[in-house]
Structure formats: C-alpha cells, structure tokens
C-alpha cells in the first residue's frame, strides 16, 4: 500500500482514508476485478448488504455468477433505473443545479467527513481510471467498499481500467468518486443521491447509491462537462456511426437526444422480420402494417454510443465537428431485445462473449448463460424496462477508435401517437432537415418525450435540458448553450436533421425512422439534399420535410413524410400538436434569454418567439442543402 500511495498524488484526506481503512485492494487485472464482484471464488450468488442504523442489515443487490458474466439485480424497482433528479451540488462555484445547503438546509461538510469516516471503517477497493479516455482524458479515482466490487468493475469497463502495474508516478486525480451506499437510507430517505463537490483542482463525486447510471457513468459525464466549461468545449450526448453504402461511399452521422432518443439504436443494424421484410410502421388504430424492401443495407461502423468527446485538440480545418468516444465501454440498454433474433449482432456478442461481461436487471441464473431477452421482472410482474449490459468497445465488430469528422448531426425525439381525437406532439415526419439555428433550439430544449424506459420519471413531455446532457451537468445552462452555439458556428460544413422514434402520427414505428434516414442520407453522398425535393414543414420548428423520398427503388408513402397527410391526423390534429410543441418550446427557451447568452443566440430565440420564418433563421445562420 505504501508503494501505491507513493505513485498517487492524493489530497491528505484521501490518503488518510486509504491508510486507515481495514483493507485496500487494487485489482491487478480486469479478471480479478470481476472475480471480486462475486465476493469470493466459492460464491455463485453473492448478496451485497450493509449495516444501516435503525434498520439492521439491508440487502441492496444480488450478484449471480453466470457462464457469460456477472448478473447484478437490485431488490428495489426504484434502484433499477436512474433517478433524473438525483444530482446535487455542494460547492460555491457557479451552478443552476439544486444546492445541497438549499435543498437539505444544512452544510455538506459534516456529511462529507462522515462519509470519509465510514469509508475508513470498510474494506476498500481503489480503482484508478481515466475520465474521457486515455488519449484525451483526465486522471481519476474510485474509492468504494470491497463488497461493491461489481460497481468498480462497472467503472473500469465504462471508463477504462488502469492496472496497479500501469499507474504512472505522480498520478494526480482531477476527479474522485466515493461510494457510500448505506447513506441512501440514513440521510436521503432511500432516494438516489449523487453529490458533486467541485473545486478548481478536484471534482469530487459522492455516490450514495449502487446503481452505476448516476455516478459511474453520468457522474463522470458531469466531470467532463465541468472541465469542458472551464476550458471552453463540451462532450455531446450522442452516438456516432460511420456508414458505408453498398457502393463504398462513407458518411458519419452523430445522433443526439434525451434518454430513450435512439442513441444506442443508431449503432444497430436495421431490424427485420423473420422473413426478411422491414416494417416501416403499424397503424395503431387498424393494426395495418406498412413494409419497405431494402435488399442491400449499409454497413454500420460504430464510433460512439452515448458520449462523444469534442476536445479542442481533435478539431481541424475541415469545418466539421470532430469527435471521439469518451468511453471504453457502452452501458447498453437491452429493452428492445425481447426475443431471440431481435438483434443478432449484439445477441451473438452477449451470449458468447470473448470475455465475461457485467449485466444489470436481467434474469441471471447461477452457472447458466444470461440471455439478453430474459429481463428481470419488476414488482408489478412486468419486465424491467431498463435491462443493461456493459459492452467493451473492443468486442464490437468494425468499431472506429480514431477521431472522425461529422457530416450530419441528427437529433432524436421519443414521441407519442397523434390523432385528431388525441392530438400530441407526435407530428414529426420520417426525418426533417433543420437550419442550424433551429437545430440549436432543439438542443436547448431537448424533449425527454414519451414512455422513456431509462429513468424513473416518464410522464408527459418534459425537457432533458440543454444538450440533453443537463441532468449530468453541474454548471450553468447558459454557459452550455453558448458552447453548443459555438460548436455549430465553427462547424459550418456539418448538416442537421431531426428524427422521431416510437410514432409518426397514428403509426407505431419504433426506431425505424432513424434506420431508414441513415440508409437514405448515406446514399445521398455528403448528406446533400435537393431543394426541389423539400418543402417547409407546417410547423416551423420542424424545418423542412420531403415531398417525395425514394430508397432502394421504393417510394415511401407521403403520410410518413408529412403526418398531416394521414387521415387519422389531418390538419386539425397536426396543428393542435404543433401548438403543443411550440408552446412547450416557448416555455423552455425563456430561461435562456439572459444577458449572459451569446448575442447570436439571443437573436435566434427572438426569431422563434415572434414566429419568424425559416428564411429568417437561415439569414441568421446560413444553411447548407
């Protein structure tokens, strides 16, 4: 342990935790880390429990040893998905997030010291890692109780593992994550809480729960956003793919959006029926299915799954945004895999992986194979909507590791069905081409949308907040709005589209719109759209839509391009939906109209508030067709 402390340049408080704890383990390799997750080599089922004052021993998690990896299940339904309101800021730096002293009417420092004292009483696992990747990332550290080794394994798989032998001399963490699960019960009424305590030298993340989403993943995202705020760049909430057409043309699409907006799905191959047909949409009123035939689909090479690092050292003279994956592993949601054959590409990797994986919210039976379509049942008897696997990038075939130039930035929106009788914001066509100014507005509002499977709160239309990464950010909304606008103005050769998922008007479509859009845009070459094929959408927030769209020799029905053409929707249902969408944007955008907003951004918001024309948006920020 002395040799470890000599390598690590740690604050005195952190050194004291390590020196005074009962035992400290730093795993030599990933295999040892996974083995520690089972508690011991004899355990096929391991219960993670903690002594909680007033409650005795409280079991939080069961870890099962399966043939293809460790399967983690939480006893409470609530702990199986991320609480979107769990982030609290405890420092005095600038923030628009809830502050600990305001929310809890107390100073955080006594609880901080209490957390350190509790860690000193535990057997610990210490994990060095890099937030944002080895090349452009920042030195970081996890300190956790040893019986939560599965959590450390999650951090290692997502962020990138550094073995004890690889730790460089003078390793100086810019971020430290402290895991203290029982405090959820003793101090926070059973709620997920993650406290961010920032200084100019160190970003501390106090994770008071065992679900890795808010801390091991999104907590580190918050660290990167905080560093980017200070340095003038940001990490976008996006998947990225390099698409290769059957004619060997290449195109890079970056797909942003709130949780459930289709980021992971953008990296998947197009889904087909068992007979090979592609269902474009199913009418929710009649059950009628619409099919499209695509014989040769594009090859999809994943670049990022959820976090795209836009570090200034990567940008070049191409006038396109340049990105690289900020993670070493993907926290992949498996809710769309409901049966064998739903996603052959990922099923093959998951069922027979080259090394054992870490699963969450799946029905894992000890010494059997964990199957991705067997989801844990919630207490209501329904499958948990948030089954997950952490998939190391190196296991994904055709993965792209180097930085890529983005040709198209798409934004995904999860929408409900829309009909005349029940109008909603489900008025978005197959995909829309957006002027850059309107694309920026979508990134400020970032609708969370309909029936979100990833988080605990899913009712109605709400905003995920600026960039769709606001739930993980710790600073100021306007600062992030300015950074995103700077990205757009400096990436003039990147184009923008808007893509719905789940529904187009009265049709249930799942994630098919983004797969169809991906096929079509890639075939266009450099994402160029002919103006004569476009028309202004009836709702200006939707930019331009297609009059006709032909893919692989087949025309797509106009009803999917312009939902007002559906008899079930009509102009009446569409216009009511447009009003819902526009009113929601007006409410959300008002908060950005402050003196700290970039004057160009103020001009764009003013244009929206007075119902400006698409031509006016294009005058503010020119649009490339």
- Where are the domains positioned within the chain? 2-36+82-231, 235-321+406-620
* Residue among 501, 341, 510, 482 nearest 429 (CA): 501
The predicted pLDDT at position 527 comes to: 56
CATH of 235-321+406-620 among 3.40.50.1980, 3.90.228.20, 1.10.300.10, 3.90.1150.10: 3.90.228.20
What distance in Å separates the CA atoms of residue 226 and residue 234, rounded to the nearest whole number?
9
Asked if residue 68 has pLDDT above 90, the reply is: yes
Alpha carbon distances (Å) from 410 to 206, 230, 255, 260: 34, 27, 5, 14
| pLDDT, the chain, mean | 93
Across 445-449, 499-503, 620-624, least confident range? 445-449
Across 405-409, 442-446, 551-555, least confident range? 551-555
pLDDT confidence tier of residue 8, bands split at 50, 70 and 90: confident
What distance in Å separates the CA atoms of residue 115 and residue 208, rounded to the nearest whole number?
9
What distance in Å separates the CA atoms of residue 334 and residue 371, rounded to the nearest whole number?
10
In 482-562, where do the E strands start and end? 495-504, 507-510, 534-536, 544-546, 550-551, 554-555
Whether 416 and 450 have beta carbons less than 8 Å apart is answered as yes
Is 104 exposed, middle or buried (CB count within 10 Å of its CB: 0-12, 13-18, 19+)?
middle
Give the side-chain half-sphere CA count within 13 A for 498: 32
Other CB atoms within 10 A of residue 12 CB: 6
Whether 532 and 515 have beta carbons less than 8 Å apart is answered as no
Q: Is 235-321+406-620 in the same CATH topology as 2-36+82-231?
A: no
Contacts of residue 154, Cβ cutoff 8 Å, sequence gap at least 6: 212, 216, 217, 358, 390
The predicted pLDDT at position 457 comes to: 46
What distance in Å separates the CA atoms of residue 489 and residue 511, rounded to the nearest whole number?
30
Angle at 356 between CA 350 and CA 362, to 5 degrees: 55
pLDDT tens by residue, 391-431: 999 998 889 999 999 999 999 999 999 999 999 999 999 99
What distance in Å separates the CA atoms of residue 189 and residue 299, rounded to the nearest whole number?
49
CATH number of 2-36+82-231: 3.40.449.10
pLDDT tens by residue, 131-185: 998 889 999 999 999 999 999 999 999 998 888 788 888 899 999 999 999 999 9
Asked if residue 455 has pLDDT above 80, the reply is: no
Whether 281 and 509 have beta carbons less than 8 Å apart is answered as yes
Whether 219 and 197 have beta carbons less than 8 Å apart is answered as no
* Residue among 438, 473, 475, 472 nearest 454 (CA): 472
- Over residues 351-378, the mean pLDDT reads 96
Asked if residue 568 has pLDDT above 70, the reply is: yes
Angle at 439 between CA 434 and CA 440, to 5 degrees: 155
Whether 415 and 574 have beta carbons less than 8 Å apart is answered as no
pLDDT tens by residue, 199-240: 999 999 999 999 999 999 999 999 999 999 999 999 999 999
Asked if residue 82 has pLDDT above 60, the reply is: yes
Give the predicted TM-score (pTM) of the model.
0.92
Angle at 520 between CA 518 and CA 522, to 5 degrees: 65
The predicted pLDDT at position 295 comes to: 87
DSSP string, 469-489: TGGG--S-HHHHHHHHHHHHH
Other CB atoms within 10 A of residue 193 CB: 24
pLDDT confidence tier of residue 458, bands split at 50, 70 and 90: very low
Across 344-348, 423-427, 514-518, least confident range? 344-348
Asked if residue 344 has pLDDT above 90, the reply is: no
Angle at 537 between CA 532 and CA 541, to 5 degrees: 130
């Amino acid at each position: 342990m002395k040799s470890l402390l000599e390598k690590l340049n740690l604050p005195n408080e952190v050194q004291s935790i390590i020196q005074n704890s009962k035992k400290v383990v730093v795993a030599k390799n990933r295999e040892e880390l996974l083995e520690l997750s089972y508690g011991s080599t004899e355990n096929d089922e391991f219960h993670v429990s903690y002594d909680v004052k007033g409650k005795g021993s409280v079991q939080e998690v069961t870890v099962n040893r399966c043939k293809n990896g460790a399967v983690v299940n939480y006893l409470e339904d609530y702990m199986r998905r991320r609480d979107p309101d769990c982030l609290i800021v405890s420092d005095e730096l600038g923030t628009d997030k809830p502050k600990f002293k305001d929310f809890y009417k107390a100073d955080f420092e006594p609880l901080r010291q209490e957390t350190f004292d509790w860690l000193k009483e535990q057997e610990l696992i210490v994990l060095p890692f890099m937030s944002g990747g080895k090349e452009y990332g920042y030195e970081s550290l996890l300190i956790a109780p040893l019986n939560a080794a599965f959590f450390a394994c999650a951090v290692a798989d997502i962020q990138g593992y550094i073995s004890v032998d690889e730790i460089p001399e003078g390793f100086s963490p810019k971020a430290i994550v402290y895991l203290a699960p029982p405090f959820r019960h003793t101090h926070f009424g059973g709620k997920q809480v993650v406290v961010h305590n920032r200084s100019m030298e160190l970003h501390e993340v106090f994770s008071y729960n065992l679900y890795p989403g808010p801390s091991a993943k999104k907590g580190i995202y918050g660290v990167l956003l905080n560093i980017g705020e200070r340095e003038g760049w940001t990490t976008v909430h996006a998947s990225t793919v390099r698409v290769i057409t059957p004619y060997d043309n290449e195109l890079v699409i970056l797909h942003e959006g709130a949780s459930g907006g289709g980021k992971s799905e953008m990296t998947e191959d197009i889904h087909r029926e068992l007979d090979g047909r592609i269902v474009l949409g199913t009418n929710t009123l009649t059950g009628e299915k619409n099919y499209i035939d695509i014989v040769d689909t594009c090859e999809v090479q994943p670049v990022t799954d959820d976090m795209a690092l836009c570090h200034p050292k990567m940008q070049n003279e191409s006038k396109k945004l340049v990105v690289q994956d900020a993670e070493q592993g993907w926290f992949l949601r498996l809710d769309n895999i409901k049966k064998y054959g739903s996603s052959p590409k990922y099923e093959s990797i998951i069922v027979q992986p080259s090394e054992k994986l870490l699963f969450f919210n799946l029905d894992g039976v000890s010494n059997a194979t964990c199957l991705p379509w067997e989801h844990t049942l919630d207490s209501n008897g329904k499958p948990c909507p948030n089954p997950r696997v952490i998939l190391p990038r190196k296991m994904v075939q055709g993965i792209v590791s180097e930085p890529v130039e983005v040709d198209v930035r798409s934004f995904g929106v999860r929408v409900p069905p829309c009909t005349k009788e029940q109008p909603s914001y489900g008025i978005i066509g197959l995909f829309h081409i957006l002027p850059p100014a309107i694309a920026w507005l979508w990134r400020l509002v970032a609708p969370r949308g309909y029936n979100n499977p990833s988080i605990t709160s899913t009712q109605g239309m709400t905003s995920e907040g600026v960039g769709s990464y606001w739930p993980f950010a710790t600073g100021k909304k306007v600062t992030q709005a300015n950074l995103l606008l700077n990205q757009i103005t400096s990436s003039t050769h990147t184009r923008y589209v808007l893509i719905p998922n789940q529904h187009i008007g009265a049709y249930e479509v799942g994630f098919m719109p983004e797969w169809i859009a991906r096929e079509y845009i890639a075939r266009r070459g450099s994402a160029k759209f002919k103006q004569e094929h476009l028309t202004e959408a009836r709702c200006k927030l939707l930019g331009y839509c297609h009059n006709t769209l032909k893919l692989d020799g087949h025309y797509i029905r106009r009803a999917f391009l312009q939902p007002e053409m559906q008899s079930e929707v009509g102009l009446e249902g569409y216009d009511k939906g447009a009003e819902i969408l526009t009113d929601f944007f007006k409410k959300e955008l008002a908060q950005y109209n402050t003196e700290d907003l970039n004057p160009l951004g103020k001009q764009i918001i003013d244009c929206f508030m007075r119902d400006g024309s698409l031509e006016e948006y294009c005058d503010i920020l020119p649009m490339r067709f």
